[in-house]
A and B are shown apart, each in its own frame.
Chain A
Amino acid sequence: MNQPELVIIGGGPAGLAAAIAARKAGVEDLLVLEREDHLGGILNQCIHNGFGLHTFGEELTGPEYAARYMARARELDIPCYTGATVLDLGRDKTITALSPDRGLFQLKPRAVILAMGCRERPRGALNIPGFRPAGVYTAGTAQRLVNLEGKMPGRRVVILGSGDIGLIMARRMTLEGAKVEAVAELLPYSGGLQRNIVQCLQDFGIPLLLSHTVVEVHGQRRVTGVTLAQVENGRPIPGTEQYYPCDTLLLSCGLLPENELSRQAGVELSPVTGGPVVSEELETSIPGVFAAGNVLHVHDLVDFVSQEATAAGENAAAYLRGEAPAGEALPIQTGAGVRYTVPAALDKGRTGPVTLRFRVDRPYKKKAVVLTAEGQPVLRRVRPVLAPGEMETLTLTPAQAAACRKAETLTLSLEEVSP
């Protein structure tokens, strides 16, 4: 093939949707690089159902959702190199990659879409005292072992962290015959989706211990048990320690966008999301480098990953056509209760609707999400429940977006709802 004009790094749902959208928007020479032997990303190990309700109106499993996009990419003849790991991304968009059948190779596309997904916060970052015996896994690693390799990491399990992967693995390990003693969560609420708390824990009578953490891991060669304690203000409360015998400790303590390559390239990253700071076009601080999916900010719903990546693909195509004249950036300030927004700014030169995604800083009941331009509310939506574990979406109509673009200041915040 020719030197591709557009290279997409990562062949998960974000990379595939971006590639499909770019091809449909007329980009002929494009290439997807995926380091695993199969396309589909994390979806291949997410064998549970609950994917695609928004996109396809039915509940699919992860592999089924991925298969739909893989089929579409095949129909459109989109070239994908699997087993190809990108080692370096330069500021000038030079990509250095390695694959067993092609060796080391370089590409110099005019545009790049970052779609590398995220990875789990490793144990080292968690600072659990005690030895480092075998039997401590991240929940995602356990998921991979059980679902893709058919290997059980252990028989008696304690899970630290109530993120979705931890909850999903509590059920998965139980179904495969393990005894899950408890899921401990440091915070006073779970970061996982409600449906997972119901379906994965309550269905099987697995206790969820909120405001609890692991204070000690026992065992020298293999885990023999853990001590859990209740926490207050982030510190264990003396006297609340309880010993749980187990052979396996799974850690589900959050995901971090995978941005080694972005960092090498000098892409500006957000300290809040861990992903690139992007414009309304989902373009990073390097012109022609776009980002979408979990590499941009961690998503809980794959449907939104696909939507975001579709926009990134279309915008990359517009960039390649020399369109997308980025106007002045209008930053979106985060007010009370809002941790971040993606995009982080609107483009004053654009027209049309806007999709804003954001997360709140803690659980709330009945709050109004308010977007104010110049102190005047442009959009106000009352939400019955808001949780940090569930990404929120706000869609601005072209008229609302136009009102925002004219403003000098823009703020998204949560406000009280008068009863």
Chain B
Amino acid sequence: MRKVSLTCICCPLGCPLEVTLEEGKDPVVRGHTCPKGHEYGRTEVTVPTRTLTTVLPVPGGDPAMVPVKTAAPIPKEAILPAMEALKGVTLTPPVALGQVVVRDIAGTGVDLISTREIPVK
């Protein structure tokens, strides 16, 4: 049996979690105050995931940078490879809010979407 102490990151409450791992059993989460926290405790000890947010250049847009995010959390180890894959990527305005800007980022099966509407300048 192994106990892992974590700080929940689902919301700014930052609940202190304790996850108990036992061979062949589901992890047992304690200290969470919502279902999201429970889920976080489980996945953080098995497959940790993060939502990646960054920006991409949109020459001729107003403004000329568009903020983007992964449409769903991706594995933590895929964060830096995803940034690498975005090097040199530029977009053309207009960009719609929620528009898919890169499909299947770094082989994660998750799309990268725009989080702001960028009209032509």
**A residues bordering B, Cβ < 8 Å?**
38, 44, 47-50, 53-54, 59-64, 67, 146-150, 175-177, 193-195, 197-199, 203, 300-301, 384-385, 390
Contacts and interface: CB of A to CB of B under 8 A. Distances in A.
B43 to A, nearest CB: 14
Contacts of B53: 47-49, 61
Given A61-B53, A175-B79, A195 B7 contact: yes
Contact of B9 (A47, A175, A199): A199
A180 B7 CA distance: 22
Given A61-B67, A64-B97, A199-B9, A385 B54 contact: no
Interface string B64-89: 11010100000010011001000000
Top 6 nearest A-B pairs by Cβ distance? Answer: A194-B14, A47-B67, A195-B9, A63-B116, A61-B115, A193-B12
Given A61-B67, A64-B115, A150-B55, A390 B12 contact: yes
A300 B12 contact: yes
Contact of A49 (B63, B65, B69): B69
Given A47-B115, A199-B9, A59 B67 contact: no
A63 B67 contact: yes
A203 B76 CA distance: 8
Contacts of B63: 38, 148-149
Nearest to B48: A203
Interface of B: 6-14, 16, 50-55, 57, 63-65, 67, 69, 76, 79-80, 83, 97, 115-117
Given A147-B55, A195-B10, A384-B16, 17 more contacts: A44-B116, A47-B67, A49-B69, A53-B10, A53-B11, A59-B10, A146-B55, A149-B63, A150-B64, A150-B65, A175-B79, A176-B54, A193-B14, A194-B7, A194-B14, A203-B50, A390-B14
Nearest to A150: B65
20 contacts: A47-B55, A47-B115, A49-B51, A50-B11, A63-B115, A147-B65, A150-B57, A175-B52, A175-B54, A175-B80, A176-B54, A176-B83, A194-B9, A195-B7, A195-B8, A195-B9, A195-B10, A197-B7, A199-B9, A301-B12
A223 B69 CA distance: 33
B117 A67 contact: yes
A139 B64 CA distance: 21
Contacts of B80: 175
A199 B53 CA distance: 12
Contacts of A67: 97, 116-117
A148 B65 contact: yes
Contacts of A385: 14, 16
Residue from B13, B52, B53, B55 whose CB has the most chain A CB atoms within 10 Å: B53
Residue from A48, A59, A150 whose CB has the most chain B CB atoms within 10 Å: A150
Contacts of A50: 11-12
Given A38-B63, A147-B55, A150-B57, A61 B69 contact: yes
A146 B97 CA distance: 20
B67 to A, nearest CB: 4
Contact of B7 (A44, A61, A198, A301): A198
Contacts of A177: 83
A43 to B, nearest CB: 10
A237 to B, nearest CB: 29
Contact of A195 (B11, B16, B83, B116): B11
Nearest to B31: A384
Nearest to B65: A150
B26 to A, nearest CB: 23
Contact of B65 (A53, A61, A149, A194): A149
